[in-house]
Amino acid sequence: MMAHWLRRNWPLLAAHVGGCYPLASLLLDAGRGRLTANPIQYITLHTGKPALVLLVLCLACTPADRFFALRPALRVRKLLGLYAFGYATLHFLIFSVIDYGLDVSQMLNIVAKKPYALVGFCALLALLPLALTSTRGWQQRLGSTWKKLHRLVYVAGLLAVTHYIWLVKSDVRQPLLWAAAVGVLLLVRLPAASPLAAKSRTWVRRQLTRAQ
Amino acid sequence: MQKIPSSEITPMAGYVAYQRTLSRRGLLGALAGIAGGVVAAACTPASTAADMQPAATVAADRTAAPVPTAAATAAAAPAVAATAGAASNADELGDSFTDRASVTGYNNYYEFSTDKEGVAPAAAGFAVDPWTVQVGGLVNKPATFDIGQLRKQFGEEERVYRLRCVEAWSMVIPWQGFELAKLLQAVEPQAAAKYVRFETLLDPARMPGQQQAWYSWPYVEGLRLDEAMHSLTLLATGLYGSALLPQNGAPLRLVTPWKYGFKSIKAIVKIDLVAEQPTSLWMAAAPNEYGFYANVNPQVDHPRWSQASERRIGEFSRRPTLPFNGYADEVAGLYAGMDLQANF
């Protein structure tokens, strides 16, 4: 029974485990007093990074299916997106409530003047309607608009990596790697990539049947 | 400038305990608050024995400090009472010293690691003896000093300074060291000397961060001669009453408290008097973001983030950043008539 459930639902299980892990490890760090000498910065970074990673994984789901016939990826796409939104929201709450104590004038000052804060905020705003309309009900209600609306996730991805690039002191190599990942995941969605996707998918399928 | 003998620093362990308890409880409460959608949890009063334990351990482990260990551990018990003595463990603005564990465990020192908590372990065992410092350039009496000789010749005094990192966090640190002016006077700068250029040791085998080609090693910093001669400018050899640890820039580092922390170059091996403004490592890495002066200035933001406020390590709320990091009375005159927006 359990084995059957696992065989059917392992992608969901993996997504939940992956989605909960960063928060669990953060809470564990907090319990052990291991949030460094600058704990607020630590929890800010350790909610921002998971948000980006989960968003990139979410963006990878569709290409994973199209290029590698990885059907299960489509089942976790929404979940990964929601987790990414969850971490982005936490990240923003830590910034606004804990770091700046809801000092609106100071925050507005920062968001207006500092591109990196503004860009991060816009990424969160881009994700908000997607999270709100992520249910099947909304999907049906919005019909074809839903798909168009959810292309906002591409914008969110680009804004999120820009936010990351602008935040580091000088060494942008790691942020650029994430930006490259987002870039590739967006490029492979272009119509020009479709023939390649089809070819790759057929090839993978053939290998799989042969293996069986 | 307030001078505090090392012997007065003893009750610190108790203060550390108190501070840690505070910050841990505050953060846990806040995290719990977020998780539950409630944020007011930060003021829960409970103070438990479990809270105290790690701090007591830290105090007991600190055998290197000139603190009688038994007394330190005992002092950790009545934590709140110890804060009464914290007044003498404070800078001239009344702000308490940052706890020693943070000062020696949270460091920006890319020669060892870009992870602030990773610097201390990576720098452990870094040998700072023998060590020589070459002082030359446009001077009448160039000399190479052994580190022990420097200490003997120029002595050691206590200076409590605020350290403001360009990343918008800050500390209060009791340093030991001597005024750079003393050393410069000893080598007799020539009239043509307008700037002082400092260089860190270049040794990629011992400083693994230098194997990373992103930055142009060695670390270089510079001061205008009048800044270098200013009585606040310190060459530090120790902190908290004991010799500098490798992660804090042992055996010799610069401290310019009115400038962002990155100006305070560590592990100095070379000091040259020069005619032209030196290009620092950070200026070379990002010229539009890190300037030569790098004076702490809440009005002049970093191009990408605000410098208007800062987080004092160990405190929960942000505090406003002071012009020249609170040393405006002493140093603002150095920049009279200068456009501080342009000369950031």
Provide, rounded to the nearest whole percent, the portion of chain B with pLDDT above 90.
69
**Residue A89 maps to a domain:** yes
Residues of B in contact with A101 (CB under 8 A): 317-318
- Of the two residues B303 and A140, the one the predictor is more confident about is A140
Q: Which amino acid is at B218?
A: P
Report the mean per-residue pLDDT for chain B: 81
**Residue A70 maps to a domain:** yes
**Residue A98 maps to a domain:** yes
CATH number assigned to the domain comprising residue B229: 3.90.420.10
Q: Do B77 and B201 fall within a single domain?
A: no
Provide, rounded to the nearest whole percent, the portion of chain A with pLDDT above 90.
77
Q: Which residue of B has its CA nearest to A91?
A: B34
**Residue B114 maps to a domain:** no
**Residue B47 maps to a domain:** yes
Residues of B in contact with A99 (CB under 8 A): 311, 318
**Residue A199 maps to a domain:** no
Helical pair A39-68 and A173-187, crossing angle rounded to 10 deg: 30
**Residues of B at the A interface (Cβ-Cβ below 8 Å)?**
20, 23-24, 27-28, 30-31, 34-35, 39, 54, 101-102, 105-106, 114, 116-117, 166-167, 169, 214-215, 282, 285-286, 289, 301, 304-306, 308-309, 311, 313-314, 316-318
Query: What is the predicted pLDDT for the residue at A21?
Result: 97
Of B38, B72, B89, the position where a domain reaches its end is B89
Residues of A in contact with B30 (CB under 8 A): 98
Of B89, B108, B136, the position where a domain reaches its end is B89
Q: Among candidates B337, B319, B336, B318, which has minimal Cα distance to B328?
A: B336
Domain that holds residue B70: 6-89
**Residue B223 maps to a domain:** yes
Buried b (16+ CB within 10 A) or exposed e, B310-326: bbbbbbbebeebbbbbb
CA dihedral sign of residues B307, A22, A49, A93: negative
Domain that holds residue A126: 13-188
The answer on pLDDT for B225 being more than 70 is yes
The verdict on a CB contact (< 8 Å) between B306 and A114 is yes
Q: Which residue of A has its CA nearest to B104?
A: A37
The verdict on a CB contact (< 8 Å) between B20 and A33 is yes
Question: Could you read off the pLDDT of B65-92 as tens digits, one per residue?
Answer: 333 333 333 333 333 333 333 447 999 9
Q: Which residue of A has its CA nearest to B103?
A: A37
Q: Do B270 and B214 fall within a single domain?
A: yes
Give the number of A-B residue pairs with CB atoms closer than 8 Å.
Answer: 81
Query: What is the predicted pLDDT for the residue at A114?
Result: 77
Q: Among candidates B167, B128, B174, B143, which has minimal Cα distance to B266?
A: B128
Q: Report the domain count for chain B.
A: 2
The verdict on a CB contact (< 8 Å) between B27 and A35 is yes
Query: What is the predicted pLDDT for the residue at A108?
Result: 83
Return the structure tokens found at B146.
Answer: 């052994």
Q: Name, in order, each residue with C-beta under 8 angstroms of B230's C-beta and a sequence gap of 6 or more.
A: B181, B330, B331, B334
Question: Of A3-12, A123-132, B187-196, where does mean pLDDT reach its minimum?
Answer: A3-12
Question: Could you read off the pLDDT of B140-157 as tens digits, one per residue?
Answer: 999 999 999 999 999 999
Q: Distance between CA B71 and CA B55 in Å, rounded? A: 14
Could you tell me if A129 lies within 8 Å of chain B, comparing CB atoms? no
Q: Report the domain count for chain A.
A: 1
Could you tell me if A38 lies within 8 Å of chain B, comparing CB atoms? yes
The verdict on a CB contact (< 8 Å) between A41 and B311 is yes
**Residue A65 maps to a domain:** yes
Question: Could you read off the pLDDT of A68-94 as tens digits, one per residue?
Answer: 999 999 999 999 999 999 999 999 999
**Residue A201 maps to a domain:** no
DSSP string, B97-166: PPPHHHHTTS--BTTTBSSTTTHHHHHTT---SS-EEEEEESBSS-EEEEHHHHHHHH--EEEEEEEE-T
Q: Do B175 and B250 fall within a single domain?
A: yes
Question: Could you read off the pLDDT of B248-265 as tens digits, one per residue?
Answer: 999 999 999 999 999 999
Q: Distance between CA B324 and CA B329 in Å, rounded? A: 9
**Residue B104 maps to a domain:** no
**Residue B121 maps to a domain:** no
CA B203, distance to chain mean position in Å, is 22
The verdict on a CB contact (< 8 Å) between A170 and B282 is yes
Residues of B in contact with A26 (CB under 8 A): 31
Q: Among candidates A47, A72, A48, which has minimal Cα distance to A60?
A: A72
Q: Do B55 and B133 fall within a single domain?
A: no
Query: What is the predicted pLDDT for the residue at A144?
Result: 93
Average pLDDT for B132-137: 98
The verdict on a CB contact (< 8 Å) between A170 and B214 is yes
Question: Could you read off the pLDDT of A156-209 as tens digits, one per residue?
Answer: 999 999 999 988 877 888 999 999 999 999 999 999 999 999 999 999 999 989
Q: Do B130 and B80 fall within a single domain?
A: no
- Of the two residues B214 and A186, the one the predictor is more confident about is A186
ipTM over 0.85: no
Query: What is the predicted pLDDT for the residue at A33?
Result: 84
Res. A112 pLDDT band, cuts 50 70 90: confident
The answer on pLDDT for B40 being more than 70 is no
Q: Do B315 and B169 fall within a single domain?
A: yes
Return the structure tokens found at A119.
Answer: 């860009």
Average pLDDT for B116-122: 95
